[in-house]
Structure 1
Amino acid sequence: MLAARRAHSGGRSTRVWSPHPRGKHAPVAPRDFDELLDRAAERGAERCLAHFGLESGSAAKDIRELRDLLEAWRDARRNAWQTTVKVITTGILAALLVGAAIKLKLMGGAQ
């Protein structure tokens, strides 16, 4: 935190401090720290993929298939809602037409 403030305020070269195994802090150059973070992130991503069974070479294909499946599910859900609204709207309009026909005695209702 202090190193970040110094870097922005004075433009001086700074060092990032990392924990040392004996409880002390050892200076680490920002470039080395970035490399360390990149390696840690890559290892974490590999572990995560392995946890979900996607560590093989076909992981990209599997993820694409999962995305396609999710997109198909969303399309099906949207179509189900659209169909439900159409059925309800058609039912209401049909009921209004039948009611109007009865009211106008077009269907041979009570005379």
Structure 2
Amino acid sequence: MSDSAVLAQLLRQGEEAGADLTTLRAIVEEAGELGARRALAKLGLDDGAAPKDMAELRELLGAWRDAKKSAVRAALGWLAHLALAGLLVGLAVKLGFSGWVK
């Protein structure tokens, strides 16, 4: 059962027990907001600098992802160059190029 289904069932039970549905929804909304505030406070994101901090973190994460992509591309490029160099050396040995150098 999903979280929203459990919440809907609890609201129905509260309404059947005599509570006003509007009051129950208000309680749920306040509880959700309080939980979100507590979670943000635990993460240290409950002050006025939080939006700037989050923007900086997103920027840093984007830069990290770009650097990672760049490093992978460079490594693949080096591997391709090494494979081609090995192929050329193999062809040179196979064709007797070492005899031409002497």
Query: Do Structure 1 and Structure 2 share a fold, with TM-score over 0.5?
Result: yes
The size of the alignment, in residue pairs, is 95
Please give the secondary structure, in 2, of the residue aligned with 1:17. helix
CA–CA distance in 2 between the matches of 1:15 and 1:96? 73
CA–CA distance in 2 between the matches of 1:53 and 1:99? 60
Q: Where do 1:60-71 residues align within 5 Å?
A: 60-71=51-62
CA–CA distance in 1 between the matches of 2:72 and 2:40? 35
User: Aligned Cα RMSD in Å?
Assistant: 2.9
Q: TM-score, normalised by structure 1?
A: 0.69
Q: Which residue of 2 aligns with 1:100?
A: 91
Please give the secondary structure, in 2, of the residue aligned with 1:56. coil
* Greater Rg by CA: 1
* Cα deviation, residue 106, structure 1: 3.1
- Residue by residue, what CA displacement relative to the aligned partner does 1:83-105 show, whole Å, maximum 9, x if unpaired? 11111111011110111122223
Where in structure 1 are there 5+ consecutive unaligned residues?
6-13, 19-24
Q: Which amino acid aligns with 1:28?
A: A
Q: TM-score, normalised by structure 2?
A: 0.74
- Residue by residue, what CA displacement relative to the aligned partner does 1:30-61 show, whole Å, maximum 9, x if unpaired? 22211111111111111111111111111111
CA–CA distance in 2 between the matches of 1:27 and 1:108? 100
Higher helix share: 2
CA–CA distance in 2 between the matches of 1:26 and 1:58? 44
Where in structure 2 are there 5+ consecutive unaligned residues?
none
